[in-house]
Amino acid sequence: MATLLVLLTIGLPWIGALFVLLTGDERPKLQHAIASIFSVAAGISAIVLLWFTSDQSVLSIPMGSVFGVFTFLPDALGVLLAVIANTVGSLAVIFSIDYMRGNEQLGRYYALVMFFIGAMAGLGISGSLLLMFLFWEITAFCSYALISFHNDDPKAVAAGIKALIITQLGGIGLLVGALIINSYVGSYQISVFLAEADVVPFNVLTLLAFCFLAAAIAKSAQVPLHTWLPDAMEAPTPVSALIHAATMVNAGVYLVARFFPVFEVVPGWTTSVLIVGMLSALLGALMALVAADLKRALAYSTISQLGYMFFAVGVGAVFASQFHLLSHAIFKALLFLCAGAVIPAVGSRDMRQMGGLRKTMPFVYTVFVIGSLALIGLPVANGFFSKELILEEGFMHAPMWAYIGMLMGVGLTALYVSRMVFMVFYGERKGKKPIHDGLFWMRASLVALSFGVFTTWLLAGVLNDLMAQTLPFHDVHAIGTFKLVKEIALAPATWISLAVIALGIGTWILRKSLAGIKDSLRPVARLFENGLGFEHLNQGIINVTKNLSAVLHLTQTGQLNWNILGIVGMLSVLLALLFIGV
Amino acid sequence: MNLSPINICLLGVTGLVAAGFYGLLTTRNLIKVVIMLQILVKAAVLGLIAAGNASGRQYLTQSMAITVIVADTIVAVIGMAFAIQIRRQVGTLDTNELSSLRG
Amino acid sequence: MLEALVYGILVGAAIFSAIQSLRADSLLRSAIWLAGVSVLISIVIYLLGAHRVAVIELSVGAGLVTVLFVFAISVAGGEGIGERSLIPKPLAWSLIIFSGLLLIYFVLPIKASISTVSETSLATVFWQDRSLDLLVQVALIYSGALGLVGILAEAKAPLQQSMVDEFAAERELALHDMEIKAGSEEDHPIEPQSKSS
């Protein structure tokens, strides 16, 4: 049964992608229908898989001695990722029914989105490092193809290439790590590696730990490799919601969480993860504060929240990080989809040209506020519980400076979220009158996500249980939902952070009186708007890669004689090697 | 030096392979390329039969040699068809110019 | 000793023919020298004991393929084989001689001679043990025939301009209809590119 579910979870979106392509772009209604039905079916199959989690592999495909065995192991970490990918994916697809109406290349869009959803589910469920790398690469490709979806726009294409190069360079770290693991442990299976990690000599283990960390940083857009995410906002908004907020960027968090038990003994690794998380949380929040483009602000917010998850793994709270991953996926997708409703209605992505939409778009306003409550971390929404759990763990286990940093991040989050809500929905209307207040399917998916915001925190106990049962190497203690909630609500850290949140919101409300401070901080703000110089670093990486490929392009002349020269040359090299070996 | 027939055949394989590869390296005419490929395949067939004799599994290598001959004939046929059609459409058989064509 | 001499002469002649084929002036001579290589190789194969393969090699290699080449050369060939090669000849020579010498180094010590047959019969091996090869050969021949027909097909006549105009006009009408039906509400699916940050 579990085998069938795993196959359905990964296979249904892929089959749906194939059918959408085969239907052709002349029948858009059929394409919308096929995509929605298949993605919803995949979502249901992923949720049912929750009942069948286990710590044994349920499907093994032997691939010969070189590639090992491709196994699928639906344990709690993986199934969580699959459930998020499939359900949020299906909601994004439903949203796209209205968002992408009239687009001529619907087949390409839906096929890529569904292909991505299946690959993301596979990334979580796979039990072999090589299989995980395969799915990792598929998600990177789909992300690139979807960012440059409007491929007649050079900005979109450049953003896609940038995302591709940065995440792929991280992927090299993953591949190298997988090969090293195989050579020492003898198998690509993650469970085998986690069990027998002491076979690996210590310096190699350190190298492995940091290779994987680099891959995770690149994929999750953490500092210093974060600049691809704001630029990736050129993608159609459902894509931004799905890929760049709810699923693909979680792959990095998943990676560090999965390998935490092995790497925590490497000195400096957990501290590095913690520092990366803290820096991203703070920098993301600061850059969101000065961003004028709504989607860019949300992208910086994603970077910041992912920093919280990295911080949680850094202090050893794997469950907290996964819980926040779940909450964040839902409320961030919600916020992005609201942006997807607002932006076409108003005709601009610039928040300075929005305003006063509270009266003309009441539905979207309500839903956006719900998402903001979750993002800030106010007690009714799921974001409160997960973020407070992280802060509580941080209070108990992290060095004090790190905890203070994260606390400042909480305040800054409250500040920039209030700014976003105010600039878009309050004040006087500056731009055009919005055309609609969310079309039918848009509203459907927004309602579903809002429902999720209020209810997924109840699943904390279930998630905790599943993780304790199916993750033999992580040290997860199972406590029930009620105890968890009580613990969070009564912890001192919670009260401190609620106070900081109030401070943040208050700062925004009283901004006129604080205008003097704001003016003096203006040059600092300009520094943040330009990305603090990280942009140059990332652009440098891109340029080096492009120049290198231009140089290597010269060897691919296409001339028959040069190709034969390559063949004969290799032949003589091999013969010489054999000769020397003799 | 006592050279057995098998040795001589293998030396022959080496010589033919060298000639075939040299031809592939230096020729620019498409038809000449196909001729050189044929020489290489004949070397391979000779090598197969000689190896079969040396190892005792003669019938196995003879069956494989028949398959290889069939395959290389098809290659020659398709190669010639390409050469004829390219000559008609593009006008030149120079591999240098053909590789820089676009569409 | 005599046996080795015979083999040596035949193999030497085959290599000589191959080299002559390389250096021939016209494509036709090249193809004829190729036929020579084929004949000599088939004699050697016959002497090694593989009678059936030798016959097949002779009839197909020296017969069919040579006729094919002559036909193709008469239709398509004719000029331009005297041009300079892209790769400098000394480089090619040295690489080939280097690999050749290494190969000879590996080949010479092989001490083997014609041993006795250990299998049942060619027929059983060919039709039963290697039946998958037969399938491959059938598929190859079929695809070769199809490929031949496809490659040598006449190019389709380009569509006349009047029909092209007709298609374009139809497309215009269809687009216009779609715009009217969509109305004003759902008409802004793609977000505009005005971004400032």
For residue range C93-115, list pLDDT tens digits in order: 898 999 999 888 888 887 776 66
Q: Give the pLDDT score at C82.
A: 59
Q: Is the pLDDT of residue C188 over 70?
A: no
- Give, for A269, the enclosing helix (H) or strand (E): helix A269-290
Domains and CATH numbers, chain C: 1-81 (1.20.120.1200)
Are the C-beta atoms of A197 and A577 separated by less than 8 Å? no
State the amino acid at position A161 in one-letter form.
I
Q: For tokens 């390998």, what's the residue? A: A259
**What tens digit of pLDDT does each residue of B50-67 get?**
999 888 888 889 999 999
- Bond before A224 cis per omega within 30 degrees: yes
Nearest to B66 among C12, C56, C104 (CB): C56
Residue A93 DSSP class? H
Write down the pLDDT at residue C80. 57
Which DSSP letter does residue B40 get?
Answer: H
Of the listed ranges C59-68, C69-78, C110-119, the one predicted with least confidence: C110-119
- The residue type at A367: V
Where do we find the tokens 């609201």?
A: A338
User: A76, A469 in Cβ contact below 8 A?
Assistant: yes
Q: List the Cα angle A474/A452/A163 in 5-degree steps.
A: 70
Instruction: Please give the Cα distance from A298 to A296 (Å, whole number).
Output: 5
- Residue pair B22/B40 in contact by the 8 Å Cβ criterion: no
Q: What are the pLDDT digits (tens) for C125-169?
A: 788 888 888 888 999 999 999 988 888 877 666 666 777 777 778
* % of chain A at pLDDT higher than 70: 99
Chain C residues close to A435, C-beta within 8 Å? 184-185, 188
B–C: how many Cβ contacts below 8 A?
255
Neighbouring residues of A55: CB distance < 8 A, sequence distance ≥ 6: A73, A75, A191, A469, A470, A471, A472
Say yes or no to pLDDT of A356 above 70: yes
Average pLDDT on C39-65 reads 93
Helix (H) or strand (E) holding B76, with range, is helix B58-89
| Smallest CA–CA distance from B85 into chain C, residue | C152
Residue range C28-34: mean pLDDT, rounded: 93
- The residue among A390, A147, A443 whose CA lies nearest residue A277 is A390
Q: In angstroms, rounded to a whole number, what is the distance separating the alpha carbons of residues A390 and A308?
A: 7
**What pLDDT sits at residue B45?**
96
Taking only the tens place, the pLDDT of each residue in A258-290 is 999 888 888 889 899 999 999 999 999 988 888
Task: Express each pLDDT in A2-58 by its tens digit.
Answer: 888 899 999 999 999 999 988 888 888 888 999 999 999 999 999 998 888 888 888
The β-bridge partners of A189 are A128
**How many other C-beta atoms lie within 10 A of the C-beta of residue A290?**
20
Q: Is the pLDDT of residue C62 over 50?
A: yes
Supply the pLDDT for residue C185: 43
**Residues of A in Cβ contact (< 8 Å) with C105:** 579
DSSP at C109: T
Kindly report, residue by residue over A35-51, the tens digit of the pLDDT: 999 999 999 999 998 88
**Higher-pLDDT residue of A74, B91:** A74
Any chains having at least 3 CB pairs less than 8 A from chain A are B, C
Distance CA C187, CA C181 (A): 10
**pTM to 2 decimal places:** 0.75
Least confident piece of the model among A381-390, B76-85, C13-22, C46-55: A381-390
User: Taking the CA of residue C119 as centre, how many other CA atoms within 13 Å lie in the half-sphere pointing to its CB?
Assistant: 19
Among A173-177, A397-401, B64-68, which stretch is predicted with the lowest mean pLDDT? A397-401
Mean pLDDT of C61-75: 91
Distance CA A372, CA A508 (A): 14
Cα A376 from chain centroid? 19
- For the segment A367-392, the average pLDDT, to the nearest whole number, is 88
Is B98 an 8 Å CB contact of chain C?
no
Mean pLDDT for chain A overall: 87
**pLDDT score at C192:** 47
Q: Which amino acid is at C172?
A: E
Q: Which residue has the tokens 């109406």?
A: A101
How far is it, in rounded angstroms, from Cα A256 to Cα A273? 9
Chain B interface mutation, best of C37, C87, C141, highest count of B Cβ atoms under 10 Å: C37
Q: Does A566 touch chain C (CB under 8 A)?
A: no
Residue A574 forms contact with B (CB below 8 Å): no
Residue A575, min C-alpha distance to chain B (Å)? 13
From A384, A419, A399, select the one nearest A514 (Cα to Cα). Answer: A419
